[in-house]
Amino acid sequence: MLKFILRRTLIMIPQLFLLSLIVFVLAKAMPGDAITGAFAGDPNATEERKEELREKFGLNDPWYEQYGRWIGNAVQGDFGSSYMYKQPVTTLLAGKVGNTVLLALFTLIITYIIAIPLGIVAGRWTDTWADKLIVTYNYFSFATPLFVFSLLMLFLFSFILGWFPIGGSVDIKIEEGTWDYIVSKMEHLFLPVMSGALLATFGTIQYLRNDIIDTKLKDFVKTARAKGVPERKVYTKHILRNSLLPIAAFLGYEIAGLIGGSIFIESIFSYPGLGQLFLTSIGARDFTVVTALVMILGTATIIGTMLSDIILSIVDPRIRVE
Amino acid sequence: MGNPVLEIEELRTSFSIKGDYHAAVDGVSLTVHENEVVAIVGESGCGKSALALSIIGLHDLKTTKLEGQVNFKGQNLLSLPISKLNKVRGRDTGMIFQDPMTALNPLATIGRQIEEPMDYHLKLSSAAKKKRTLDLLRRVGIKNEQRVYGQYPHELSGGMRQRAVIAIALACDPVLLIADEPTTALDVTIQAQIIDLMKELQNQIKSGIILITHDLGVVAEMADRVAVMYAGELVEIAEVRELFVNPLHPYTRSLLNSIPSNMEAKAKLHVIEGIVPSIQNLDRIGCRFAPRVAWVPEEDHETNPQMHEVKPNHFVRCTCYKNFHFPEGRVGEKDYVTS
Amino acid sequence: MSLLKVNDLKVHYPIRGGFFRNVVNHVKAVDGISFELQPGETYGLVGESGCGKTTTGRAIIGLNKATGGEILFEGTDLAKQKRSDRRTYVKDIQMIFQDPYSSLNVRKNILNTIAEPLRNFERMSPGEELKRVQALVERVGLSPESIYKYPHQFSGGQRQRIGIARALTLNPKLIIADEPVSALDVSVQAQVLNFMQEIQKEFNLTYLFISHDLGIIKHMCDRIGIMYHGRFVEEGTADDVYNNPQHLYTKRLIAAIPEMDPEKRFEKTHLRQSINEEYRTDYDSYFDKDGRMFDLKSISTTHSVALQ
């Protein structure tokens, strides 16, 4: 088992290297650079001044030297400085990572709280009105674009009803560490989490429903019934155990997906997380921040898939590693 | 013969297909006695598996209609509510399925799966359950029972898994075993081992066994009595020796003639004309086998074919067996001597 | 000259293990087997699942790569041919598969299914092609109009006959039949087996008949090779193997065939018990210290056994 985790971790190294290379090359290939971005709209910036700065920051060196410098620093946790915010990228991110992780975590929990029971109900009682209702909801959530739905939620619950704050992650007037602070955080999280979760249930519900319908017809379920196992236990002990297994294994992918998906949600709800930062940085061509963010999101994806592999190898005896 | 353990009377199992119910098992009556192996033999689609599942109500009741009676231990199983039926399943009946690769839950250990019926039917401590399980594993011929107890299905070979499936069926000492093609998915030598094991166990447990199979070889090795099934009906019932020496119904005779190992090498095998009718397209009036023996004159068939006891304990449906012979020119048939 | 001569054929697959997934061992699916097929005969390859019989058939037709040995077809070694050169022989060797449900493309009608090999190998006008396909379809006992139907409109036996018609289109010399009737009911099985015998004479075919069913093998084959763990255990005529089995494994296999006479069932059980007993006592004289079969030794002109 340990050997498997170790090998799986080692495989990550070339994956991450490749990712960093692609990220860096793509950033370099984009039109303009940090200097263009920093002086955008500044009439006093002359071409000579810009060129001078490029020389100073090493932006005229061959790309591999720049890459070497960048990766060398990145490994030590230094992603350079943001031109827009005039502070180290690491510090900039540190303030936002927590918010995004919180958002992703809550979205994940709420997604499962909604999706798993619905998937089970739809799968167990197929072709009943409950199943039809759930399937309808599912198609709706699949077809609705995230930003339309989020805007609708924002409009309805914040503007019209005024139940929730319009933006931010916490009320800045409240002192940190108090009960009110936590309540305020939750209030700010509620709409983004619900918007994300209500649409993210699609995959899990669909998968669970189909898997239960398949598993119901498996021979070992017939064996269980032939043993005299009551119907409820047939589900809890035999069908659900088998059908929930892949869901557990998808956990890692879900996390990766949610962190990536935070870009839209955070922008719409003006929620100060990595996603929002990502969009503003692209707009400002703040490439040090963009590359650092892509690296982080990419790493999250790679770790997520690794997590999925490891979870699956633990919960499924058929691929359990000795 | 011992006392009857199971009496099936006029059982009709109908499946809903596009809103209409069609009978896959169409008025089957059959009795199984203590310490007796009754084989139900027929080709795919004849209704033999549907019959097996009907006995302990394993069909989905939303799409299946069951009529008639299945009398077992003084009650009609068809009229029992599911809670009462669950007290019978696994306790007084045991079921062995065809494919040991799929009949076991991949996520539970062999030990757990054998103990499961004991959880619901026997009041035993967990130590007693384990002891009983290890004992069962030994009885079904698993030698390293301690190890197998904690193993998962995928860690065992097909033959070992089928032994585990048999152990599950025997967990609570049932009086009736239903084995649905228990050897079909196995390799030849494993099949022989399982046949020998089941014969040995039958001598020990003395319960009635229903053996569903398409393989006449398995029938010849294991059965005491044989019921031949065609298009939802039993067409012939006889003791095993009688059936192999003196088969009467044209379908039974055709089947016996189409088995290669029953015939001389390279001889032409018998081919039954036409195809097995599907349950939607089945003509339920008159002799159901008539379209497949087109040369038999119409007046030889009964208009409403009944089971006739032609000899003690030898029953044949329809009268067409009386003058039946394979047409000339269709070489290779062993024309069994009819009495 | 023999039509096909397989000489010390080996198909090994690497097993990877350890931290760096390097090759630690090999699965010896086929481990040095030799046999010959004379034109017009039916050679049976029989054994239990995993014995290597299917891999052997697939190696001959080129679906699995032979890792050693020779496959001489009319004197040319197919094992050493490049894929592109093999094309010439593909015409002469055809395969019939086990499952008539999955070996036909559900989206192709029968005309296109059967004509496919023709289009790959021969230039024919659509009219000629149609005639040829109709003739074949009629030969396998289906109506000529049925060529515009799709596989799901046929029964299992009919589908298997369509598979045979497809194998026949290019007038092959050798047909490798891999469990051709295992998925069929007994009465349908009979129909396909009869049919295979008929066309054998008509088209002068040689069969390599692969099956686990000893009854069918006995019925169909002139000579039989019994395989176990990738090796030959015994080879001989049907009479040699069934009536005078020499190797312990062959005896066990033959004894495993269900007895069709209910009167003899107890004898059969006792026979199997005594063979099991022999396995316990005499195992070492039939297998070497690694559990591998010895090389075949001939004990008569037709009969050879893997004994020390």
Contact assignment for C194 to B268 by CB distance below 8 Å: yes
pLDDT digits 0-9 by tens, C181-205: 887 888 888 888 988 998 998 889 9
User: A52 and A99: one domain?
Assistant: no
d(CA A171, CA A280): 22
d(CA A265, CA B322): 82
Is A83 a member of any domain?
no
- Is pLDDT larger for residue C232 or for residue A90? C232
User: A160 and A242: one domain?
Assistant: yes
| Residue C270 pLDDT greater than 80, yes or no | yes
ipTM of the complex: 0.88
Contact assignment for A228 to B90 by CB distance below 8 Å: yes
- Dihedral sign computed on CA atoms, order A200, A202, A206, A208: positive
Shortest CA distance to C194 belongs to which of B260, A146, B145? Answer: B260
E strands, chain C, in order? 4-17, 22-37, 42-46, 68-73, 76-77, 93-96, 174-178, 206-211, 223-228, 231-237, 296-298, 304-306
User: A182 and A46: one domain?
Assistant: no
Q: What's residue C33's pLDDT? A: 92
Query: Looking up tokens 């997934």, which residue turns up?
Result: C21
β-strand pairing of B93-96 with B176-180: parallel
**Structure tokens, B154:** 């995928």
Is C100 a member of any domain?
no
* Max intra-chain CA distance, chain B: 69
Is C248 a member of any domain?
yes
| Residue A43 pLDDT greater than 70, yes or no | no
C chain contacts of residue B223, beta-carbon cutoff 8 Å = 262
Tell me, what CATH number does C291's domain have? Answer: 3.40.50.300
pLDDT digits 0-9 by tens, A82-127: 777 778 878 888 878 888 888 888 999 999 999 999 999 999 998 8
Q: What's residue A186's pLDDT? A: 80
B chain contacts of residue C51, beta-carbon cutoff 8 Å = none
Tell me the three state secondary structure of residue C229: coil
Tell me the three state secondary structure of residue A42: coil
Shortest CA distance to B209 belongs to which of B240, B179, B168? Answer: B179
Interface of A with B in 236-275 (CB under 8 A): 237-238, 241-242, 245
**Structure tokens, A183:** 């309540």
User: A114 and A251: one domain?
Assistant: yes
Name the domain count of chain C.
1
Contact assignment for B187 to C238 by CB distance below 8 Å: no
Tell me, what CATH number does A260's domain have? Answer: 1.10.3720.10
Residue percentage of chain A with pLDDT more than 90: 19
Shortest CA distance to A191 belongs to which of A227, A155, A226? Answer: A155
d(CA C113, CA C116): 6
Interface of A with B in 65-94 (CB under 8 A): none
Element housing B316 (H / E): strand B314-317
Contact assignment for B269 to C48 by CB distance below 8 Å: no
d(CA B175, CA B91): 9
Is A191 a member of any domain?
yes
CA B211, B217, B223, B225: dihedral to nearest 10 degrees? 100
User: A126 and A258: one domain?
Assistant: yes
Q: Give C292's pLDDT tier (boundaries 50, 70, 90).
A: confident
Question: A183-187, B250-254, C176-180 — which is least confidently predicted?
Answer: A183-187
The CATH T-level fold of domain B4-223 is Rossmann fold (3.40.50)
Is A260 a member of any domain?
yes
| Chain B touched by C185 (CB under 8 Å) | yes
| Residue C245 pLDDT greater than 60, yes or no | yes
- Is pLDDT larger for residue B238 or for residue A284? B238
Q: What's residue B331's pLDDT? A: 47
CB neighbour list of residue A307: distance below 8 Å, 6 or more residues apart: A251, A252, A255
Interface of B with C in 178-197 (CB under 8 A): 187-192, 195-196
Residue B245, judged by CB atoms within 10 A of its CB (0-12, 13-18, 19+), counts as middle
Contact assignment for B107 to A317 by CB distance below 8 Å: yes
Is A320 a member of any domain?
no
Contact assignment for A317 to B168 by CB distance below 8 Å: no
Domain residue spans of chain B: 4-223, 247-317
Cβ proximity of B13 and B51 under 8 Å: yes
Question: For an interface test with B, which of A211, A223, A236, A247 has the most B Cβ atoms less than 10 Å from its Cβ?
Answer: A223
Is C43 a member of any domain?
yes
Parent domain of A289: 93-315
| Chain B touched by A225 (CB under 8 Å) | yes
Q: Give A39's pLDDT tier (boundaries 50, 70, 90).
A: low
Query: Looking up tokens 């009854």, which residue turns up?
Result: C215
Mean pLDDT of successive 10-residue stretches along chain B, which has 339 residues: 91 91 94 95 90 92 92 94 93 92 92 95 93 94 92 91 95 94 88 91 91 93 95 95 94 89 78 81 88 89 92 93 77 45
User: A102 and A63: one domain?
Assistant: no
Contact assignment for C260 to B255 by CB distance below 8 Å: no
Is C63 a member of any domain?
yes
d(CA C220, CA C201): 13
CB neighbour list of residue A65: distance below 8 Å, 6 or more residues apart: A58
Q: What's residue C21's pLDDT? A: 72
Q: What's residue B330's pLDDT? A: 54
Alpha-helix runs per DSSP H in A269-286 = 274-283
Q: Cβ–Cβ contacts within 10 Å for residue B102, how many?
A: 18
Parent domain of C282: 4-92+170-306
C chain contacts of residue B278, beta-carbon cutoff 8 Å = none
| Chain A touched by B32 (CB under 8 Å) | no
Q: What's residue A15's pLDDT? A: 85
Cβ proximity of C248 and C279 under 8 Å: yes
Question: A43-47, A209-213, B167-171, C267-271 — which is least confidently predicted?
Answer: A43-47
Is C103 a member of any domain?
no
Contact assignment for A226 to B154 by CB distance below 8 Å: no
| Chain B touched by C201 (CB under 8 Å) | no
Q: Cβ–Cβ contacts within 10 Å for residue B28, how many?
A: 24
| Chain C touched by B258 (CB under 8 Å) | yes
Question: For an interface test with C, which of B196, B269, B273, B326 has the most C Cβ atoms less than 10 Å from its Cβ?
Answer: B269
Q: What's residue B153's pLDDT? A: 93
Query: Looking up tokens 């296999």, which residue turns up?
Result: C253
Cβ proximity of A130 and A122 under 8 Å: yes
Is C138 a member of any domain?
no
Nearest to A222 among B97, B107, B152 (CB): B97
Q: What is the mean pLDDT of residues A159-164?
A: 80
Cβ proximity of B255 and B327 under 8 Å: no
Q: What's residue B332's pLDDT? A: 47
